[in-house]
């Protein structure tokens, strides 16, 4: 990919990079006590938003890179988030053609279901190492994450409509 393509006026590279830095800042904001379990994974939300609208530019490689970033940020075993993000990315690529034409409430509902799947995958992987997570926490985290995804969807959809 040449520098001219990246710096094109209709390129999504700059907005994606800015959103990545914003997601990293939000991810690093400290939260005290038990509230840390209610904090959405902003890198996952960013990955969902960009892969949903631009699967050709932000494909499975993007999901793997975001998974590696998450593994380093959360200090988890290398590959833990890569597996989760890759499976999510494959599902997003599969449903891309349907989801971009839906109304916002339907997109939020589908992203909520995707986030539920991700949280259940995390719970399954965590249970294999005897780290328990309650079902209520999974549901509430998916709801909070879906609400936090709405502004990301608005921004990325704006760039999608500009390129259309």
pLDDT digits (tens, 9 = 90+) for 109-160: 999 999 999 999 988 888 887 777 777 888 999 999 999 999 999 999 999 9
Reference 89, options 123, 51, 49; nearest CA is 51
32, pLDDT greater than 60: yes
- Whole-structure pTM value: 0.89
State residue 142's pLDDT score.
94
Sign of CA dihedral 36, 117, 139, 61: positive
Reference 131, options 88, 74, 69, 90; nearest CA is 74
The Cα–Cα gap between 73 and 64 comes to 14
The larger pLDDT score, comparing residue 70 to residue 8, is at 70
State residue 41's pLDDT score.
93
The Cα–Cα gap between 73 and 78 comes to 11
Task: Kindly state the average pLDDT of the residues 51-64.
Answer: 94
The Cα–Cα gap between 30 and 61 comes to 29
- Distance of CA 111 to CAs 11, 32, 48, 95, 131, Å? 25, 27, 8, 11, 25
The larger pLDDT score, comparing residue 106 to residue 131, is at 106
Reference 152, options 28, 55, 19, 24; nearest CA is 19
The Cα–Cα gap between 95 and 130 comes to 33
pLDDT interval class at 31 (50, 70, 90): confident
Least confident of 1-15, 43-57, 78-92: 1-15
Q: Of all residues in the chain, what percent carry a pLDDT higher than 70?
A: 94
Structure tokens given for 162: 């500009």
State residue 153's pLDDT score.
96
State residue 71's pLDDT score.
95
The Cα–Cα gap between 111 and 133 comes to 21
Q: Of all residues in the chain, what percent carry a pLDDT higher than 90?
A: 68
Domains of the chain: 3-163 (1.10.1760)
């Amino acid at each position: 990919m040449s520098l001219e393509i990246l710096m094109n006026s209709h390129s999504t590279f700059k907005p994606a990079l800015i959103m990545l830095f914003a997601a990293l800042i939000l991810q690093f904001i400290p939260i005290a006590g038990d509230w840390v379990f209610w904090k959405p994974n902003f890198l996952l939300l960013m990955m969902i938003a960009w892969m949903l609208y631009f699967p050709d530019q932000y494909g499975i490689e993007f999901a793997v890179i975001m998974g590696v970033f998450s593994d380093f940020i959360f200090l988890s075993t290398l590959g833990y988030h890569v597996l989760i993000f890759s499976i999510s990315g494959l599902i997003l690529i599969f449903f891309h053609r349907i989801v971009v034409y839906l109304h916002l409430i339907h997109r939020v509902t589908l992203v909520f279901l995707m986030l539920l799947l991700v949280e259940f995958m995390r719970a399954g992987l965590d249970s294999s190492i005897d780290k328990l997570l309650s079902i209520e926490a999974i549901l509430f985290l998916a709801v909070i994450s879906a609400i936090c995804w709405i502004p990301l969807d608005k921004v990325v959809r704006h760039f999608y409509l500009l390129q259309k």
